Structure 1
Amino acid sequence: MKKLKAHAYMRISKINQRDGSGLEEQRSRIDKYINENSVLFDSNIRYWEDIGKSAFTGRNMRDGELSKFIEEVNAGSIGAGDALIIYSLDRLTRRSSWEEDMIPMLVKKGVEIHDVSTPIVLKRNDQMSKIIMELIVTRAHNESIIKSERSIAGWNRRLKDTLEKGAVFTRKIPFWLNVIDNKYIINKEKVDVIVRIFDYYSNGLSSTMIARRFNEEGIKSMAGSLWRPNGITKLIKDERLRGYLRRSKDNELIPNIFPVIIDEKLFDMANRILKKNAKGIKGRPRENNKTREVNNILTGMLRCGKCGARVTTSKNGRGVRYIVCLNRKNHEICGEKSVRMQELEHLIIMHAQKIDLAKIHSYIQGDVSNEDLYKDELLDLEEDEKHFLAKIKERKNEGKVASFILINGLVEVRNKIEEIKQKIKDIGVHEEIPEIKHDHIEELMDPSNVDLRMTLRKFLTQIVDIITIRNIDNKRLIEIIYHSDVYRHILITDKNCSNLEQEIKIINDNGVIIYSTNDFSIELNENTGEYTFHGIDKVKVTAYYLLINYMTGLKGTSKIIADMHNNSHMVINNGL
């Protein structure tokens, strides 16, 4: 008689059952059974193991080793002449017998199932096999229901004690907590480190910078080892820091389980920044390993104005840093000239719109204002808006109508954007921007002031989308594109970016578009189409025609441009 090919299957639903009476016990019982019945089985045994896979939920059949066994049965490589040997049938399934169809399927395909604990054998030609199988599976299913009900009842009882009495909910406590007399006690030393992490990260420092700083200070990680960047990001995402427990069964967040270490505002802000960094929305500045300086805070925002490529930095023999187009540096296909980084950075800091430089100094002291929270939230929403628009465009290109879910999602996001914009505007009405001192600028330009510079970068990324640089004759043309309100902002300087010669701004102020350059401006009411010139008698010829040039092609400006060419407006200063 030809011997059966033996397949030994073991399963445990929890990883901590690996030792003791778990896998070892099942394997020893199966091996003993095979040895005692060696006349039936081939000595070449194939072992299958599922660890941490529940049979009550059927997970072992969906993504475990058992699922692979079933695939081979369906493919025909396992069938008649094979035997599946298990400790007991409940290792295969604990589902209700009314729902169970996996065991009958295996038997119908010719696989013999040997339950060594009963012991019984389920065979295709044995009429009693199905009845025996249903009795065993039903018993196992009922046992699982009872265990589940007891577990839920115990979980709810512990939750009630935690919420009402402040009792310890779980013995799996976070690193920053201790337990005394069934109460959570905060480990102040570790909590102080965690608070520093959130302050640093919300101020713009990267997880790599924070980890390096702690390691240099000799501060141990929560596990007592060196800090790693991924350890920083894991802590930032840990819901337990704001008092929540994430239930593993359904991923539900349960509040008020642990003491609150980080408040909601700071936690949300840090996680929004983390989300943006994970998406790679903007490049991250690097800290020099030797000097511990941050040299380029504009990284990720800068583009070549000639070819549109990203830029990089390089140093000359005197150590002066320059911004260079990547297409020029790597491929020599762009002739755009390089520009000194320090002068460009100074120009952006001094002239970028809506940067409250004084706030940067207060921000590193832990001031998390509502305005900054709203601006970070606005960036998130604008990314969501782009996602919805891209999906709608994709369906349109495929000749399909955008789904209700997409349209509704876009409407909701846009409504939220308008709501957040209004909140930011309301704050701006009541806040007075203080005068900026010269020494503040000097501090921000100093590469060794890492905290200040990374905080400045955070503020820049909140308002600035892209900065392009282009050389025209002996002039530099820098265009700043903002996330909102300011349509265009053009700075025209000398070739070294050291002197600002002209400045053109196109701004939307609550439905009134303002086109301006130096002392001259035009205000256009979007609703009525009416426009007004201001400072026509002061404007210089160069500035006047520069503004015409940048208004050309913009929606709703043709009438204004025609009027600007009218001779009645040509009584302007002939000075350049």
Structure 2
Amino acid sequence: MTPRAYSYLRMSTDDQLKGDSRRRQLEASRAYAEQNGLELADNAQLEDIGISAFKGANARDGALGQFLAAVKAGSVERGSYLLVESLDRLSREEILPAHTLFLSIVQAGINLVTLADNRVYRAKTTNLVDMITSLVIMERAHEESKTKSLRVGAAWKNKRKMAAEGRPMTARCPAWLRLSTDRQSYELIPERVEIVRQIFSDSAAGLGMYSITTRLNRAGVAAFEGKNGWHRSYLAKTLENRAVLGQFQPHVKVDGKRVPEGDPIEGYYPAIISDELFYQAQHLRSQRKRGGAGRKGPGYTNLFTGLARCAYCHSTVAYENKGSGTRGGTYLVCGNAQRGRGCSATRWRYQDFEASFLAFVQELDLESILNATEDAETRKRLEGEISALRGELSSVSDLMEKTYAVLSAGGSPEFVAAKLNELTARQAVLRERLASRESEQLAFNGRDLRFYTSREEIKELVKRLQMPPSDELYKLRAQIASRLKILVETLLIAPQGALPAMQRSIEELQKIIGEEHDDVVAHMQRLAAHPDQSRRYFAVGFRDAAVRAVFPAYDDPLRFDQQIVAGQGSSDHGERSIEVVEPPDRRTRIA
């Protein structure tokens, strides 16, 4: 039976892959197999690319480690051959672990061939000269790697010292910068800086990756890399890149992996955006990931993606386009009902539902998005600060996770402990500031909310948001959708209106909003007890624990038959109360 040969290739850098190293090792393996009548296992070729053998990462976690496990399990037969260019491809560790690896291979019955000198190491025939030769080669390989590591480490240590002093380490820098002609600083590329700033502004305004990418490509904006336009992956890397804040994070390679070394160097690059805008963009990205990621249509078609639930079965509410014609149009419909999975919920025409929501959910403060008023500026400021603080908190949590990963990858325990202490302290400060801003926002929002002065004012605001698609409209609707994701915890839609259905939806509402809103549930029960009061409605549960239920009129989405509003501190004595809002001139308050 023809013995099998396994070719093992290892290159510590990707640059070697681009050069001649891989081709040379492969051709040498094929030639040896042909000359010695071996079956070269092409489908089992072993490669460790970009993995160093200096600390044994290839034998522990790489392809070599998988081969050794297969040998131990008996999947690789005794008498097989392992072909390597030289012993330093197997290991560059210190002599004892390197020679232990060498012995584990030959003692398992695997013939180890070094192609550079055509030497074969066999378990039964390897002699003293072979053993001494192998020891000398492995010791020399370790010393070479150690010397190189010290030399490179010293060079980069010097470069990092230069960086801390504000001098560039290399010409390599973010795509919106370039090295100055005197090589003493980085300069802005104005047109690219403006593009990056717009990307962050769009993200903070609620636009997703797909929308921003599409806009850049449609506008013919030249991509920073490649000739195939903008890609979402590149935008994601840009939005995560703290170089826009002026930071540079030095890295080192540990077991072939790049890991952070030391603290980021502040002010290494020119900062091009504010910390607040950076963290607002991070927070809004995380909110989009929570629900509603993906394409939104040319006019941001559905504002409630990822938020709306069926009031009868709590399934996701789907957006349905039934085309044009008398029976066409767009609707919101229970996902279970749409798929025939038990729920019998009817459809709610999307444009009508959106109009009612925008008109009557005062907490959204639609005017602050569409009009510049003093209250709107205050609300925007608070929301911006809170969004930025939440984004920075999320960033700190990510940094803590990455710091733990540094320890797992062999980083210094002292550095990790110091870094975690620093991040923990920063986290505490941010949480305190966030709690303060949220309290300020709650007090601001807790004031008596006014109703629009006239139905004409309502109609005008809604009309602006339901115009034909345009870039400006898309941005406005994206901002509204983003604010909804920040404000709204629960949105239940109950389109049926019939008495049994209303009773079922109230039971579902009670499960979701909890005992703290029993007053709302009790009032809904009283409504359901009277057939003439049963009607379709939607209920919004906000993150500050307030609740608003709206019963729009069937014949006009910009009129309502009744609203129920509950929240903390809404009574005259600062206690919780429920307010039943009738149409204008018919308002009552129930303590």
- Pick the TM interval, shorter chain: 0.7 to 0.9
Alignment counterpart, residue 325 of structure 2, candidates 317, 328, 348: 317
Instruction: Answer whether contact 2:549 2:565 (CA < 8 A) is retained.
Output: yes
Deviations 1:334-355 (A, max 9, x none): 3333223223223322333533
Alignment counterpart, residue 232 of structure 2, candidates 217, 221, 229: 229
Are residues 1:425 and 2:439 paired?
yes
Deviation at 1:328, TM superposition (A): 2.9
Question: CA 1:236–1:379 in 2, change beyond 3 Å: closer, same or farther?
Answer: closer
1:483 alignment partner in structure 2: 543
Question: CA 1:354–1:14 in 2, change beyond 3 Å: closer, same or farther?
Answer: same
1:204 alignment partner in structure 2: 206
Deviation at 1:105, TM superposition (A): 0.6
Are residues 1:240 and 2:243 paired?
yes
Question: CA 1:434–1:508 in 2, change beyond 3 Å: closer, same or farther?
Answer: closer
SS class of match (1:178): strand
Within-5 A mapping of 1:123-134: 123-125=122-124, 126-128=126-128, 129-134=130-135
Question: CA 1:117–1:374 in 2, change beyond 3 Å: closer, same or farther?
Answer: same
2:111 alignment partner in structure 1: 112
Deviation at 1:455, TM superposition (A): 0.6
The runs of 5 or more residues in structure 1 that have no matched partner are: 386-411, 521-537, 548-576
Q: Which moved more, 1:453-462 or 1:153-162?
A: 153-162
User: In the aligned structure 1, how far is the partner of 2:69 from the partner of 2:303?
Assistant: 54
Q: TM-score of the superposition, structure 1-length normalised?
A: 0.74
Alignment counterpart, residue 195 of structure 1, candidates 190, 193, 197: 197
Are residues 1:506 and 2:566 paired?
yes
User: In the aligned structure 1, how far is the partner of 2:196 from the partner of 2:17?
Assistant: 34
Instruction: Answer whether contact 1:285 1:296 (CA < 8 A) is retained.
Output: no
Deviation at 1:91, TM superposition (A): 0.4
SS class of match (2:6): strand
User: In the aligned structure 1, how far is the partner of 2:140 from the partner of 2:83?
Assistant: 20
Deviation at 1:22, TM superposition (A): 1.8
User: In the aligned structure 2, how far is the partner of 1:519 from the partner of 1:309?
Assistant: 29
1:50 alignment partner in structure 2: 48
Are residues 1:272 and 2:283 paired?
yes
Are residues 1:220 and 2:222 paired?
yes
User: In the aligned structure 2, how far is the partner of 1:380 from the partner of 1:333?
Assistant: 44
SS class of match (2:304): coil
Instruction: Answer whether contact 2:11 2:50 (CA < 8 A) is retained.
Output: yes
Deviations 1:296-352 (A, max 9, x none): 212221122122222223346256433222333331733333223223223322333
The runs of 5 or more residues in structure 2 that have no matched partner are: 254-258, 398-425, 499-533
Instruction: Answer whether contact 2:279 2:389 (CA < 8 A) is retained.
Output: no
2:420 alignment partner in structure 1: none
User: In the aligned structure 1, how far is the partner of 2:165 from the partner of 2:388?
Assistant: 36
Q: Given residue 170 of structure 2, which amino acid in structure 1 is its aligned partner?
A: T
Alignment counterpart, residue 76 of structure 2, candidates 52, 75, 78: 78
Q: Given residue 439 of structure 2, which amino acid in structure 1 is its aligned partner?
A: K
Are residues 1:65 and 2:63 paired?
yes
Deviations 1:158-198 (A, max 9, x none): 1222232432x234332222223323222211221111111
Within-5 A mapping of 1:357-506: 357-361=366-370, 369=381, 371-375=383-387, 420-426=434-440, 439-446=460-467, 448=469, 449-470=473-494, 471-473=496-498, 475-486=535-546, 488-496=547-555, 497-506=557-566
Q: Given residue 222 of structure 1, which amino acid in structure 2 is its aligned partner?
A: F
Deviation at 1:15, TM superposition (A): 1.2
Q: Given residue 451 of structure 1, which amino acid in structure 2 is its aligned partner?
A: K
SS class of match (1:227): coil
Question: CA 1:148–1:512 in 2, change beyond 3 Å: closer, same or farther?
Answer: farther
Alignment counterpart, residue 343 of structure 2, candidates 330, 334, 346: 334
Q: Given residue 264 of structure 2, which amino acid in structure 1 is its aligned partner?
A: I
User: In the aligned structure 1, how far is the partner of 2:5 from the partner of 2:40?
Assistant: 5
1:516 alignment partner in structure 2: 578
1:18 alignment partner in structure 2: 17
Alignment counterpart, residue 345 of structure 1, candidates 339, 342, 354: 354
SS class of match (1:309): coil
User: In the aligned structure 1, how far is the partner of 2:161 from the partner of 2:307?
Assistant: 51
Deviation at 1:254, TM superposition (A): 2.4
SS class of match (1:99): helix
Q: Given residue 103 of structure 2, which amino acid in structure 1 is its aligned partner?
A: P
User: In the aligned structure 2, how far is the partner of 1:300 from the partner of 1:31?
Assistant: 56
2:256 alignment partner in structure 1: none
Q: Given residue 371 of structure 1, which amino acid in structure 2 is its aligned partner?
A: E
Higher relative contact order (CA 8 A, sep 6+): 2
Task: Name the count of aligned residue pairs.
Answer: 488
1:92 alignment partner in structure 2: 90
Q: Given residue 536 of structure 2, which amino acid in structure 1 is its aligned partner?
A: R
Q: Given residue 472 of structure 1, which amino acid in structure 2 is its aligned partner?
A: G
User: In the aligned structure 2, how far is the partner of 1:416 from the partner of 1:165?
Assistant: 28
